[in-house]
Structure 1
Amino acid sequence: MQHLTARVTQDARVKTFENGRSVVNFKVVKNRYYKNKEGKRIEQAEFFQCSYWRTAKIAPYITKGQVVELLGEPSADCYIGIDGKPVPVMRLKVNEIIFHSAQKKAEEKSTDNTNKNTAESSDDLPF
């Protein structure tokens, strides 16, 4: 199981199958920082395609810009792009989602530099 805190890059989509089972699909991005050989700080975005099979009722809450904490099973895939080069794809089969309130830009610029992201109570969600 992998634990991942990331930002949703597009609103969730629900796909319902003929047997009545549904899956919620969405994408997230996590920024990773490291220093190169010269000591320069590098930022690299890592994108994940996520699927959540437990309930489709969660889909309206997974919106672009939302910060989520995910626990799930990662896998890697690859396909050939239009240019003929392999394109890696990271996937995450999500078992658990924890929602965080979005941090406003004004708060980011505040002088107290406190982290205002807090997990929302699971009592507020209808599932």
Structure 2
Amino acid sequence: MNINGRLTKDATVSKTTTGKEVVNFTIAVNDGYKNKQGEWVDTTEFIDCAFWRTSVVASWLKQGLFVELYGQISTRAWIGKDGAPQAGLTFSTSSIKPAWGTASKVDAVQDYKTTENNSLVNEDQTDGLPF
């Protein structure tokens, strides 16, 4: 699944109880439609995202950056501060492509993917095969 949106704030890195790092960020996805009166109505949805492959991307995932993401939706559940069960959706991102935005040095950022040993490689340097 692909989604596009603009980061609402700088990405953060957190660790699980087992020490695995995850990059968390939220994107705003804008859309719109015409209502029955023919007026244009703008809508914005906010999507929580997680990137588990490497924390290096957090250095350039800055507020305002427009990104194209590939991944899948996953569910999460937790107990809130009030003790009530909570649930939500997270977009588990497997590929991040910066499109354009206000982050510094966006022009220097390429489309990256990770290899099995978690090192970053430029996607243009792969063999081009889709599998």
> Is the shorter-chain TM-score for this pair beyond 0.5, marking a shared fold?
yes
Q: Which runs of 5+ in 1 are unaligned?
A: 80-86, 104-117
Residue in 2 aligned with 1:122? 111
- 1:58 is paired with a residue of what secondary structure? helix
Q: TM-score, normalised by structure 1?
A: 0.68
- 1:39 is paired with a residue of what secondary structure? coil
Residue in 1 aligned with 2:16? 17
Deviation at 1:102, TM superposition (A): 1.8
Distance 1:77 1:42, change over 3 A: farther
- Report Cα offsets for 1:14-34 as digits up to 9, x if no partner: 012343311000000011110
CA RMSD for the aligned pairs?
3.1
Deviation at 1:78, TM superposition (A): 9.1
Deviation at 1:88, TM superposition (A): 8.8
Distance 1:94 1:30, change over 3 A: same
Distance 1:96 1:122, change over 3 A: closer
Residue in 2 aligned with 1:74? 73
AA matched with 2:45: E
- How many residue pairs get aligned? The number is 104
AA matched with 2:44: A
Distance 1:21 1:90, change over 3 A: closer
CA distance in 1, matches of 2:70, 2:89: 14
Residue in 2 aligned with 1:6? 5
- Report Cα offsets for 1:17-76 as digits up to 9, x if no partner: 343311000000011110111111000001100011011111111100001001111246
Contact 1:48 1:89 in 2 (8 A): no
Percent of pairs with identical residues = 29
Residue in 2 aligned with 1:83? none
Q: TM-score, normalised by structure 2?
A: 0.67
Contact 1:12 1:63 in 2 (8 A): yes
Residue in 2 aligned with 1:94? 93
- 1:65 is paired with a residue of what secondary structure? coil
Contact 2:11 2:58 in 1 (8 A): yes
